[in-house]
Chain A
Amino acid sequence: MKEFFEFFSFADANIRYVTIGSVLLASSSAVVGCFTLLRKRALVGDAVAHAVLPGVCLAFIVSGTKNPLILLSGAFVTGWLSLVLIDYITSRSRIKEDTAIGLVLSVFFGIGILLLTSIQHSGNAAQSGLDKFLFGKAASLVGEDLIVFGAVAVLLLITTIVFYKELKLLCFDETFAKSIGFPVRSLELLLTTLTVFAVVVGIQAVGVVLMAAMLITPAAAARFWTERLGVMLVLAAVIGAFSGISGAFVSYTAPAMPTGPWIVLIVSMVAILSFAFAPKRGWVARMLRRRRNKIQILEENLLKLFYQLGEQHEDYFSNRTLDNILTRRNIPKRQALAGLAKLKRQGYIKRHPDGWALTREGEIRGKRVVRLHRLWELYLTQYLQLASDHVHEDAETIEHIITPELEQKLMEELNYPALDPHHTKIP
């Protein structure tokens, strides 16, 4: 607890640098990552992260200094080149995007390693520490780094806000954007440039491999909570910032712990939890929804059976035994009993000494299902010219999902019919 307060008072300058640096970095790359994710190019971040290495080495060979600005511009050039090459290869040959990414990634990195080792073996004393540039040093951020991070973060955010509408259209409907005369090529280049910027700066903090996560993971997590791009961007930035702070905190309490991997670990956990528990798109929510649908279908089928039994003698409220119900339709006995118990609790049926009987509400609901079934059958035979013995299956599925509005429309469309294709009455 003491450490908690110590950390969050931000009294120590070093803590401030690391935290602010991590937050700026994580949230600005998360925002850019949203666009690459939506354009189904989540892995290009990984390619850029690897393609930076030869640029750094070449910049060193040409300039002979380790001036961060020169190294960064080298990194920027090859990172940018790698994305242009990926685009060029995929548009000009049968090579698919993922292959192009893998190829560019490994070849650029290979060239980088070759150059790096060649420099190291050349006996140039100035080169020591060049490799550290590439593998992350979040725990040792200093004030100067912060200025660079801050500037880049602000630049990325401002560009995103200014070009928000254009980028949005590029992500969701590229063809439309082209057709109304948007400069799609320039926008793509802009997005490419933003991505490379985020990666080049971020790499120094978290290292080559983990930089890919900073782009993809917060965006993928945010995607599960919302359908709106604006909300997604803000959420991704918040998730990124949260992971940045938490990662910095962990490495503060346990000094041997590397900040970058902890940021990634935390952001991954947030993402995995989102995949599972996000209210609409999450895995658990979807499973619950599926189960609810299944139960609803069972209930409606049972009520339908009651109604159909009643139809035979125009007597809807008499007692029906379990055998009585199940002879008309093959429902597993245990499921049927569970369904009946539930219907009784909801007041659609009443318990009788040796069976169940519909209540008034049950009769109404059962009647509606039967009506929808027959209406749909009629619709299929009239409008799609299907034979009347082919329409039952389809109506079985559709009867559970027709809304009252659709029901009204169907009635109008069919001119309030009295008989279904099998010449039974539509209730």
Chain B
Amino acid sequence: MNAFWIILTGSLVATCCSLLGCYLILRRMAMVGDAISHAVLPGIVIAFLFTGSRDSIPMIIGAGLLGVLTTFLIEFFHRYARVQADASIGITFTWLFAIGIILISVFAGQVDLDQDCVLYGEIAYVPLDLWLTEDGLSFGPQTIWTLGFVTILIIAFITFGYKELFLTAFDPGYAAVIGISTTLWYYLLMTAVSLTTVASFESVGAILVVAFLVGPPATAYLLTDNFKTMLVLSVIIGIVASIVGYYLAYWLDGSIAGAIATVTGLQFALAFLFSPTHGQLFKRKRTIAV
């Protein structure tokens, strides 16, 4: 049963992250996911100080706000101060992360947090944190409910906003002509990324969030030229990584999140070498045949 809950958690995170990641990598914003996942640290600490508890909801709100602030700062430095795009990302998140660590040290006595637990999360603990009613009835792990809700939200966002997201990402000029606000959809997408990052974080850790945001979409991108197919493929790839990763971790007796990230790397390597359309091997064969 535990294996089931853990794989389900991984798959839910994989679904949200892979879907959003497809947009990020095509907009050349893959590193924004990494930036958000580090920059929300001060938000988590502040939320923790305000409520004094490790409840998920205030933390998600605190971190979510910081996530949106991060994307705003990155945009601001880049557009108004004309800092080059990659430097703007790098400066913003390291700065916020440093503030987070300093806050933790200042309130060390009151905050039962450390950077390890935020960044590395422990997916193995998911089945332990059950949602019990007063009668002792169990509804399964709490994380599943939170993540399930977020997943539904993200799928709805992408289904209903498909046209807008597609146009603002690939043809901003045309989008502007037919009256779709590029800025609005940029921030909606970034809010979705922040929400997903933050909701996933506690259970799987930052590193796996980044791996899911980039790995499966990049793999899918090497396998298809159709964007809808890419979305579906990357979700499937993400879920497969969760399953295989779980058993790899079991076999090596190591971190599940680390193992899943490793598997996303293997999947990418396979696609990179053997993809029928973009793989290295077939490219080479074709050149020889010609």
User: Range of interface residues on chain B?
Assistant: 35 or more
> Chain A: interface secondary structure?
helix
A101 adjacent to chain B (CB < 8 Å): yes
Q: By the criterion CB–CB under 8 Å, are B262 and A258 in contact?
A: no
**Interface status of B226 (Cβ within 8 A of chain A):** no
B94 near A210 (CB under 8 angstroms)? yes
For residues 5 through 50 of chain B, which have their beta carbon under 8 Å from a beta carbon of chain A? Answer: 25, 28-31, 33-34, 38
Contact of A105 among B28, B80, B208, B210 (CB under 8 A): B210
A121 to B253, CA, bound (A): 7
Q: Is A195 an interface residue (CB 8 A)?
A: no
A199 near B: Cβ within 8 Å?
no
A113 close to B95 (CB less than 8 A): no
B261 at the interface (CB under 8 A from A): yes
Grouping DSSP codes into helix (H, G, I), strand (E, B) and loop, the B interface class, with mixed when no group exceeds half, is helix
Establish whether residues A92 and B280, one from each chain, have CB atoms under 8 Å apart when the complex forms.
yes
A98 B31 Cβ-Cβ under 8 A? yes
Residue of B nearest to A112 (CB): B258
Residue of B nearest to A286 (CB): B82
A114-B249, A264-B95 known; A98+B261 contact, CB < 8 A: no
Identify the stretch in A38-46, A66-74, A298-306, A389-397 within 8 Å (CB) of chain B at 4 or more residues: A38-46
Contacts of A89 in B (CB 8 A): 272
Q: Hey, what's the 0/1 contact readout for B68-97 against A, CB within 8 Å counting as 1?
A: 000000000100111110110111001101
When distances are taken between beta carbons in the complex, the residues of chain B under 8 Å from A101 are 30-31
Partner of A213, one of B30, B95, B254, B259: B95
- Is there contact, CB below 8 Å, between A107 and B265? yes
Of the candidates A41, A92, A209, the one having the most CB atoms from chain B within 10 angstroms of its own CB is A209
* Bound-complex Cα distance A272 to B248 (A): 44
Q: A109-B207, A110-B262, A264-B94 are in contact. Are A102 and B87 (CB under 8 A)?
A: no
- The reply to whether B98 and A265 form a contact with Cβ atoms under 8 Å apart is yes
CB distance from B241 to the nearest CB of A (A): 10
Given known pairs A102-B210, A121-B254, the reply for A43 and B102 (CB within 8 Å) is: no
Instruction: Please tell me if the beta carbons of B211 and A110 are within 8 angstroms of each other in the complex.
Output: yes
Which residues, 175 to 231 on A, are CB-close (under 8 Å) to B?
209-210, 212-213, 216-217, 219-220
A268 near B98 (CB under 8 angstroms)?
yes
A256 contacts the other chain (Cβ, under 8 Å)? yes
Does A265 lie within 8 Å of B28, measured CB to CB? no
Take A94-B221, A101-B31, A118-B254 as given contacts and tell me if A217 and B94 are in contact as well, using a CB distance cutoff of 8 Å.
yes
27 contacts between A and B (CB under 8 A): A42-B86, A42-B89, A46-B31, A46-B90, A92-B280, A95-B222, A96-B30, A98-B28, A98-B31, A101-B30, A106-B34, A106-B215, A107-B215, A110-B259, A110-B262, A114-B255, A116-B255, A212-B90, A216-B87, A217-B90, A220-B84, A220-B91, A261-B99, A271-B91, A272-B95, A281-B82, A283-B80
